[in-house]
Every structure is written in structure tokens, then in C-alpha cells.
Structure 1
Amino acid sequence: MFRNVRILKLSRLSWTGLSSFSLSRYSSTAAAPHVALPLTGFRVVDLTRVLAGPYATQILADLGAEVIKVEHVTRGDDTRHWGPPFAKSLTDPDSRGESAYFLSVNRNKKSLGLNFKEKRGQNILRSLIGTSDVVIENYLPGTLAKYNLGYEQLKNDRIIYASITGYGQTGPYRNRAGYDVMVEAEMGLMHITGEADGAPVKVGVAVTDITTGLYAANSIMAAIISRSRTGLGQYIDIALSDCQVAALANIASSCLISGEPDAGRLGTSHASICPYQAFPTKDGSIMIGAANDRLYGLMCQLLNKEEWIVEERFSTNALRVKHRGDLVPMIVEETKKKTTAEWLDLFEGSGIPYAAINDIQATLNHPHVLARNMIAVVEHPTCGPLKLVNTPIKYSAAMPTIRDAPPTLGQHTDEILKKLGYSGKEIDILRVEQVIG
């Protein structure tokens, strides 16, 4: 199984050419009941909080894994308290409700409220891990080892144990706490983000956490495939700093190859392509991306400036980049003559990449977003119907979707402990003594 995996790359293939291939069924959020999701039958013990770890485990949960989120017995995940906004509770109108932040990265999971600083809590957790395939945690290096819950204390032939930290298990910064924005700053991203004449800024979402979550989920799934061949699990060391350096992509490569400093902040423009940025209109802005000579020619035609096509200093992309200080102001003079809507209508169907610059509400109500089923309504146990962002993964069968709303704190504690063999009386005692919640 998995020994001869081949990846078919459909390079530059137009979907419109696949006339005999129907894609309509792939937009449905309804799972095919006769086909199991890819990770069905795998159990993940989730000891993570905030974003990078929960984002990774949410991906695994979307794909069918049983993810058991182990939370502080009374406080829960830090993000349960991050707000406003909070979704109002229908069962307890006097309560604060559920944090929108927490709701964004904890769908399809179960919650176990547990105090694993206490010996009985450690025993419960070890029993749970003994029945699981994956453990993922994001404490500082060495923290869980204090409670006999580190990899060396728990490892067996099959366990896959992933640790997410700011700076990894080795290196001079290993003991430094690493939140997304700090790593954005330390590892170069903030320096290249913002307007050319402005101060460095962070990205609008915690993109380093999200990148790390994606790497973590991919690494865990690859380890599952490896275990299917070898029978052996392994330890995975995932650092926000490493993932951020990897995500510098072409910018890092340019600096390594040239030996020169980076180009600094470029706003919406691109260091290696011109024109490729936002341009002002009569009433707003529009993104235009002429990433090659053909698209540049199309843009010139649409701007009614065909003479720019044969202009020597703009005849190749390299020359356009060199002379962007001349070309961009010329384009600006033209784009300011029409409204955004007028330009959008003009560019429609032309083949040139373009886009409106939407705010988040416009995005969430965008006809394409809705057509792709990226917004789902789920029934929350205390808040009733909630709109949440759906999983972006679309298979041809067993479609992932939101099967379960993000859990309330300790919602599944009794269920999980009963499956581990605890009696109702034992569970009651553990709850009274605040070992569980």
C-alpha cells in the first residue's frame, strides 16, 4: 500500500477543455455515505492551543480523523477568551458565549477538559495516547517531559508525535516563546510587507501560524503513509521560524542567488514583474497582473495605449521592471479615468488577470465563494445555527465538510473516559476534584 504513488501534473491545462469531465458534483458539501473520508479510523490527541496547532488538527479532522482536543480543565484553549466578537449563547444568555476566534479553527473535534499536571490526569492522557495514532503539541521544549508526557516517555513503535514551537527543539532560540507576529518580524516577512515609503507591517492574518499548520498537517499525513510501509512512527519537530523561512520562497532564493539585500517593501507590486499591482481608479482601486509580454500587450489594448507595446523601454518584462518608475505612473493616469466597476466590466473575459479589492464581508458574500460552498451553517450545541468558513478540500468522493460544530469546553469528556473504561462514579469523582471538566 502506498508503495508506488504517482502524481499526475496537469501543467497549464485548461479546465474548459475537459468537456467530458463534469466538475459540478465536486462543489457539493454532502459527503458520499458509502465512501469513508481519507483519515477515518485514525485518532489524534491534540495538545495544542491558539492557531498553528489547532489549524493543523482541524485539517486532519476535516479529513476524517477523530481529533480529541485536550484543554485546560477550567480555562480551555486561550482563544476561547479572545474577543469580541462572541457568538451569543442561546442556552445561557448571561454568559459571554463562544469566541469567533476559537470557532474558526476547532470544527470537527471533540473536547476533553483535563488537568494533566495532576497524576490521575497524566494517567488518563497516557491511556488515551495508548489508543491513538498521533500526538500533536505546542508547548515550549521540555514542558511536557516534566509530566512524563514527552516523546521519549511516550514513544512506542507506532506513535507519531509532532511538536510545534516558535523556534524548534534545537538552536539558540529553542527556549524563546514564538508567537506569529514575533516570527514574522525575526524571520524577514515583516521587513518586506507594507508600502515602499511606510513602516514594516504584519500580514493581515497570522500567516506564519497558518503556514506552520499546513506544514504540520502535511508532515503528519506523510508520517502516516511512512508508517503504513515500515510499521514505525516517528517524532516531528516543526518550528514557526523554519516554516517562515521556507515561505519566503522566491524572495529568499533571489537573495541567496544574487548575494544582494532584498528589494524591501513594495506594497502590492512585485519585485520581479511589472505591471503587477493595485492601481487607483476614479472611485477605488483594482489589481492588474500583466505577468508576461502577451498579457502586457492585452493590458495596453484595454487601456487604449497600444503604442506602449512597441515602446523600447517596456518591450520585455525585465525592461518593464527596470523602468517601473516610468511605466506605473503612466498606467495610473489611465486607470484613474474610469470607476472600478467600469474597469471590471472592461476586463471581464479579456484573459488578463485582474481583481476587485474586497473587504472581508464582501468576500464572505462573494458569489464565487458561495458557489464553492465555502460558507456553511452548522448547529452549535449552545449557540444554535452558526455561519462558519467551510473546509476548502474537495474530493470526487467522501466530501469533507463540517460534520460537528466546534465543541464547548469538555463537551466530550464523559464520552471519552467511558471508552477508556472509567465508570460513571469514577468520572463524577474526577470532576468534583477538578481532574476533568
Structure 2
Amino acid sequence: MPVRLPLEGITVIDISHLAAGPWCTMVLADLGANVIKIERPGVGDMSRNAGGTYAGDHSAVFLSFNRNKRSVALDLKDPRGRETLYQLLSGADVFVENLRAGKADQLGLGYADLAKINPGLVYASISAFGTDGPYADLPGNDPIIQALSGAMSITGEQDGPPARQGVSVPDFGAGMMAAFSITAALFGRATTGSGCKLDLNLLDVEIFALGPRAQEHLITGEDQPRLGSAHPQFAPYQAFRCRDGRYLYIAAINEKFWHLLCEALGTPELAEDERYATNVDRCRNRESLVAYLQDILDTRDRDDWLGVLGERGMPCAPVNTLTEAVHDPQVVHNELVQRFTHRGLGELSTVALPLRLDGARLPIRLAPPELGEHTEELLAELGTGAEDA
């Protein structure tokens, strides 16, 4: 275990809820920050009651976002609750919110208000579309952002409807970008002594995450088709069904691997076919190429092909189910799935931060908290009684 975590000594006040904000602050907490999660008394973060999967009466959504934090129940519409929050903020380093546009200012929690209390505060605001502009007042969440950003239009089978990405890329991407931006701002503050306001929104992050797809469009002006598991710039580069109905992914990213694939499949002559001579040719003739390869791959079971392709160093992998993924030998070896003890639920597993520090996984120091679990503890540290909060 690391002797000292990188963000030890940094205090984060978190009034965010659901996904992007809590994901951001969990990353900071995993890195050692003292994260104080402010929740509405009797209600809490809406993720406490989100989704359809629960461990006891604790939602999987909440459990996945909120380890290594302490929960304080405060009514921020009550002047006493806000005053307690101001006391917490006076000694804090970071403040994170993802309220609807203008709501923080209405509550007296805007950047201008808090910078007077603590000029060194790094203030991070995470919104759906931005703090101003034509969509600023509209409700927005993960699928809305995926639809607006264009990501949904290039996801799904070629002849099928647009599909939502299987995970909440806008939420988790914005959370990670916010955590990165906060640590960068803290680094800058060490030089300047001044805090700052960070504004991030899910729409910007999702379009940023399009990466080369956005750049390709900006060059050509063309929209890209949906290609299922295939890649618009490489071929063959997609999932193929095998005889047993299971799928494997083949990634022939360059000519070396294209030739290796042809040899492994027992069709070296295919590499000389002028229709498939270069990657550009293979992309242009994708339909006939995929049909030809699919006929070959239908002759053997998935694991047989994995052995044949793997022996030749061909980039390939089984298309794992989630069950297969978390029990995959490399994932098990990496010790990515960690155990922790929850006060009400006992031993639980969770996915750790994908980072090792000096060779060690970062510890899960605190289980996801019960609503208001640490209120008295934190108020005692402030010298404030619960009746004043």
C-alpha cells in the first residue's frame, strides 16, 4: 500500500448527484482526497434510488460512484444548512456541483459567492450542455447527449436504428475530465495561490470523445455510416461469429497483420487479391471481404480460432460477456476487482481505479456511505451541533 496517496490533504466538498459529479469525486477520493458528500436530509443523492439492481436496499448505481467518501446531510435551502456548508468550504480546496444552470447562484453557492469565503477554492461546475446558450435550461442526461453529439448516429448495425453506447460515456467521460481538470487547477494554484472556476459539460466531452471520427468529418464534411462492431478506417476490423455461435474480434490494423490473418485462415492467396491489396481497398470492398471471412470462420468454434490466430500473433480476442470479462485471466491477474466491507451489506466486490501507484492498487478506505452517516462526525470537527445544521 502506498505510504501517502497523491491527494492526501486535499478536501473536496461535493454537492453533485447521480453520475458525472460523483464519478469525478470518487476518482479524487480514490487518489486520497477527503471527499465530503453533501446530501439532502431524508432524500440523499438521487442515485440512491436509481436503476433496478440493488444489494439489499442499496442501488448498484450509488455503490459504484461513492466509495471513499463521507456523507453529511444538510438542507441547503435552510440558512443554517448553508452556513454549515460555508464553514466546511472555508477550509476546503475543491467544490463540485452539477446543478441545473443558475441553481447554485440561487442557493448562494455560485463561484462569486464562494470565492469570497475561500479565494483559493477550485470550483468545478459540471452541466449537461453548458452554463449558458440555447440549451442551458433544458434537462439533459446520457442518452440525450449521445443523441445530440452524433455518437448515437454512428453506433449500431448498418441496417438498424441508431443505438445508445452500452455505457454512459458522456457521464463517465465528463467525470474523468473534471477530475483531471481539478488536479491541473490544484497544480496551478500551488504556483499562483489563486483558485479558479472550471466549467465542463457532457455535450462538449462526448463530441471531444469522438476523436478521429470528428476530425474525419471536419476534413470530408461527410456523415459516417453505422458499421456495427466494424471500424470505418480499417478492415477486417470487427467481430465475427464462429461455428458455436460465439464471437471473436479480429483487428488487422496494418498490412503485416492482414498477411498473418490470411496465413492463419489457410488462404494466403487472399492477401494477393487486388480487391484487398491495401487497407483502402479492403475498406472499399468491405462487404465482399467480410462475407468471405465469415464463411471461413463459420467452420470452427471460437476457441479453436483463438488458438490458431493467437499462435501467429494476430490481434484477436473473444467478445466476452460481462461474466467472462470480470473472470478473464488477465483481469484477475491485474486485481482490478477489489473487495470491501460495507456496514450493512457485508463483503462486496467493486471495480477499483485503473491505476497502480508504486505497484499497488489504491485502497478502498471507506465503503459507500449511508445517508448522513458522517454528519455528526463532521459537525463535531467544525464545533457545530446537529441542531445548527
**TM-score over 0.5 for the alignment?**
yes
Which of 165, 178, 183 pairs up with 2:145?
Answer: 183
Task: Report the counterpart of residue 4 of structure 1 in structure 2.
Answer: none
Instruction: Tell me how large the CA RMSD over aligned residues is.
Output: 1.2
Task: Report the counterpart of residue 359 of structure 1 in structure 2.
Answer: 321
* 3-state DSSP of counterpart to 2:66: coil
TM-score (norm 2): 0.97
- 2:233 maps to a residue whose letter is S
Task: Report the counterpart of residue 99 of structure 2 in structure 1.
Answer: 139
Task: Report the counterpart of residue 230 of structure 2 in structure 1.
Answer: 269
**2: CA distance, partners of 1:397 / 1:344:** 31
TM-score (norm 1): 0.86
Which of 8, 15, 19 pairs up with 1:51?
Answer: 19
- 2:54 maps to a residue whose letter is F
Aligned length: 386
Contact 1:58 1:107 in 2 (8 A): yes
Deviation at 1:130, TM superposition (A): 0.8
**2: CA distance, partners of 1:119 / 1:78:** 22
Contact 1:391 1:402 in 2 (8 A): no
**2: CA distance, partners of 1:383 / 1:420:** 30
* 3-state DSSP of counterpart to 2:124: strand
Q: Which runs of 5+ in 1 are unaligned?
A: 1-30, 89-96
Per-residue deviation, residues 83-127 of structure 1 (Å, max 9, x unmatched):
432112xxxxxxxx2111110111111111111100000000111
Per-residue deviation, residues 318-340 of structure 1 (Å, max 9, x unmatched):
11111112211111011100001
- Determine whether 1:129 maps to 2:89: yes
Deviation at 1:366, TM superposition (A): 1.7
**1: CA distance, partners of 2:4 / 2:362:** 10
Per-residue deviation, residues 293-349 of structure 1 (Å, max 9, x unmatched):
000000001100100111112111111111112211111011100001111121224
Per-residue deviation, residues 267-307 of structure 1 (Å, max 9, x unmatched):
00011100000111001211000000000000001100100
Aligned ranges for residues 384-423 of structure 1 at < 5 Å?
A: 384-396=346-358, 399-422=361-384
Instruction: Point out 4+ residue stretches in structure 1 off by more than 3 angstroms.
Output: none
Q: Which runs of 5+ in 2 are unaligned?
A: none
Contact 1:36 1:398 in 2 (8 A): no
Deviation at 1:263, TM superposition (A): 1.7
Aligned ranges for residues 75-86 of structure 1 at < 5 Å?
A: 75-86=43-54
Higher mean displacement: 344-353 or 305-314 = 344-353
Contact 1:391 1:401 in 2 (8 A): no
**2: CA distance, partners of 1:148 / 1:157:** 16
Which of 67, 81, 86 pairs up with 2:35?
Answer: 67
**2: CA distance, partners of 1:399 / 1:225:** 23
* 3-state DSSP of counterpart to 1:407: coil
- 1:275 maps to a residue whose letter is P
Deviation at 1:398, TM superposition (A): 6.4
**2: CA distance, partners of 1:399 / 1:102:** 22
Task: Report the counterpart of residue 12 of structure 1 in structure 2.
Answer: none
Identical aligned residues as a percent: 39
- 1:302 maps to a residue whose letter is A
Which of 61, 68, 77 pairs up with 1:108?
Answer: 68
- 1:106 maps to a residue whose letter is N
Contact 1:211 1:244 in 2 (8 A): yes
* 3-state DSSP of counterpart to 2:357: coil
- Determine whether 1:192 maps to 2:138: no
Which of 266, 287, 290 pairs up with 2:249?
Answer: 287
Aligned ranges for residues 90-105 of structure 1 at < 5 Å?
A: 97-105=57-65
Which of 115, 123, 126 pairs up with 1:161?
Answer: 123
Contact 1:60 1:217 in 2 (8 A): yes
Deviation at 1:256, TM superposition (A): 0.4
Contact 1:380 1:386 in 2 (8 A): yes
**1: CA distance, partners of 2:217 / 2:275:** 26
Per-residue deviation, residues 395-416 of structure 1 (Å, max 9, x unmatched):
2166412111111111111111
Per-residue deviation, residues 37-94 of structure 1 (Å, max 9, x unmatched):
1101000001111111111111100100011111111111111112432112xxxxxx
* 3-state DSSP of counterpart to 2:119: coil
Task: Report the counterpart of residue 20 of structure 1 in structure 2.
Answer: none
**2: CA distance, partners of 1:171 / 1:187:** 16
**1: CA distance, partners of 2:93 / 2:32:** 13
Which of 330, 333, 356 pairs up with 2:295?
Answer: 333
* 3-state DSSP of counterpart to 1:404: coil
**1: CA distance, partners of 2:360 / 2:256:** 41
Which of 163, 174, 181 pairs up with 1:201?
Answer: 163
**1: CA distance, partners of 2:85 / 2:10:** 17
**2: CA distance, partners of 1:371 / 1:252:** 36
Higher mean displacement: 134-143 or 400-409 = 400-409
* 3-state DSSP of counterpart to 1:348: helix
Deviation at 1:205, TM superposition (A): 1.2
Per-residue deviation, residues 136-166 of structure 1 (Å, max 9, x unmatched):
0000111011121111111143110000000
Task: Report the counterpart of residue 148 of structure 1 in structure 2.
Answer: 108
Task: Report the counterpart of residue 226 of structure 1 in structure 2.
Answer: 188
